[in-house]
Amino acid sequence: MIFAYKRSMFLKHLTLVNYKNFIEKSIDFGAKINCVVGPNGQGKTNVLDAIYHLALGKSYFNPQSSQNIRHDQDFFLIQGLFDKEGQEETVVCSLKIGSKKVIKRNGKIYDKLADHIGVLPLVMISPADRDLIVEGSEVRRKLIDGIIAQSDHHYLNLLLSYNQTLSQRNALLKYFALNHKFDKETLSVYDAQLRDYGLPIYQKRKVFLEEFIPLFEQQYRQISQGRESVSIQYQSQLHQGDYGAQLSECLSKDRAIQYTSCGIHKDDLSFEIDGHPIKKFGSQGQQKSFLIALKLAQFAFIQKHTQTQPILLLDDIFDKLDDQRVAQLVDLVNQNRFGQLFISDTNFERTEKIVQATGQGYTMIELP
């Protein structure tokens, strides 16, 4: 299910300076389908990542912002000219070594980078998404947090406050161990803050997943044509009850390991197919379908809650999907479910043939 939306948005022009492999690059885009094609190593993925960076203030692939600066340079700059409901908006993201990252919207610098999240709704589908299945729980928590934060600033602020308090509590536990001291009263201050931040985060995650999981299951049925059943289970220690009581019960363990062992920072999602972990029992094709369904459900959720059609980035997708799944994606485009779409691929002819089949307007951007 893709919900009706109220606001349109698309990227008209992108300028890159010293971003990853680019010295300087300017690209014009169309309002519908944009294909960035060229040999490996020319920067196709970097173009899509720059768009992601503009929207969410960070790279999709490399969280260390300074590592996105071109080698032997000391800064990068990304500038995007957007059309939002017929009004032009300029967003600039820049970073100089030794300084904080700066994001400007229409010439005004954000006091907090977090305030920019949700202004430019966006979803990325990439081969790197496989980490959601094979890696640890942190990757899956980031998926949940990233989706909710694009439409709920209060959630993002709670999460930032929780993580800051968690770091402070962990530092205090290490201080106690190092200096052979213990001050229960000081620790209780952090416990109270973790409880006050953590409980509403848990509640918001529960409400989110109650809406998101049916969206995901519907997307998977459409992609797999109902051949198997899939499910997502929310795992949280807070299911067991009072978080404050749990912190007290875990105190002896926390002092021994010098780390906070219970809380929403341990939450996870269990991905299953026909009642079994998809990591072990899902075929490669089933795992790909699972991941695409996750991202299409993300698209639907963000579209509904921001009332804007998100930009959709498809990085190196055609090379990793069989013809049937490509045809299903084309069918979704044919149904006009998406707004602006970006596709990266190595094969010019294959990509143009696929997008021609959609009957939608498209722009081919060939990198040398």
97-131 pLDDT tens trace: 999 999 999 999 999 999 999 999 999 999 999 99
Phi then psi for residue 8, to 5 deg, are: -105, 155
* Domains in the chain, number: 2
Domain boundary among 281, 307, 333: 307
Residue 127 lies in a domain: no
CATH number for position 329: 3.40.50.300
Tell me how far apart the alpha carbons of residues 345 and 266 are, in angstroms, rounded to a whole number. 37
Closest by CA to 46, choosing from 60, 33, 32, 26, is 60
Looking at the fold, whether 163 and 106 belong to one and the same domain comes out as no
Q: What's the whole-number average pLDDT of the chain? A: 93
Sequence-ordered list of residues with C-beta below 8 angstroms from that of 15, at least 6 positions apart, any chain: 24, 25, 26, 77, 78, 79, 80
Q: What number is the average pLDDT over the span 207-235? A: 93
Looking at the fold, whether 79 and 172 belong to one and the same domain comes out as no
Residue 215 lies in a domain: yes
Tell me how far apart the alpha carbons of residues 234 and 223 are, in angstroms, rounded to a whole number. 23
Question: What share of the chain has pLDDT > 70, as a percent?
Answer: 97
Burial code of 218-227, b = ≥16 C-beta within 10 A, e = fewer?
Answer: ebbebbbeee
Domain boundary among 278, 307, 336: 307
Looking at the fold, whether 225 and 259 belong to one and the same domain comes out as yes
- For residue 4, pLDDT over 70 is answered with no
- For residue 1, pLDDT over 70 is answered with no
Looking at the fold, whether 176 and 281 belong to one and the same domain comes out as yes
Looking at the fold, whether 171 and 60 belong to one and the same domain comes out as no
CATH number for position 199: 1.20.1050.90
Considering the entire predicted model, what is its pTM? 0.92
Tell me how far apart the alpha carbons of residues 102 and 227 are, in angstroms, rounded to a whole number. 48
Looking at the fold, whether 84 and 222 belong to one and the same domain comes out as no
Place of tokens 């809406």: 211
Residue 126 lies in a domain: no
Looking at the fold, whether 321 and 249 belong to one and the same domain comes out as no
Looking at the fold, whether 287 and 157 belong to one and the same domain comes out as yes
pLDDT value of residue 225 = 80
Looking at the fold, whether 176 and 278 belong to one and the same domain comes out as yes
- For residue 25, pLDDT over 80 is answered with yes
pLDDT value of residue 5 = 46
Looking at the fold, whether 147 and 246 belong to one and the same domain comes out as yes
Residue 68 lies in a domain: yes
pLDDT value of residue 336 = 67
Please report which confidence band the pLDDT of residue 240 belongs to, taking 50, 70 and 90 as the band edges: very high
Residue 297 lies in a domain: yes
HSE at residue 139, side-chain half, CA atoms within 13 A, is 13
Please report which confidence band the pLDDT of residue 337 belongs to, taking 50, 70 and 90 as the band edges: confident
Looking at the fold, whether 329 and 353 belong to one and the same domain comes out as yes
Domain boundary among 307, 326, 357: 307
Tell me how far apart the alpha carbons of residues 116 and 57 are, in angstroms, rounded to a whole number. 8
Tell me how far apart the alpha carbons of residues 69 and 51 are, in angstroms, rounded to a whole number. 15
pLDDT value of residue 199 = 97
Tell me how far apart the alpha carbons of residues 217 and 199 are, in angstroms, rounded to a whole number. 27
Residue 363 lies in a domain: yes
pLDDT in tens, 253-264: 999 999 999 999
Q: Which of 68-82, 203-217, 352-366 has the lowest mean pLDDT?
A: 352-366
Q: What number is the average pLDDT over the span 11-17? A: 98
217 lies in which domain range? 136-307
Looking at the fold, whether 22 and 80 belong to one and the same domain comes out as yes
- For residue 26, pLDDT over 70 is answered with yes
Residue 211 lies in a domain: yes
pLDDT value of residue 329 = 75
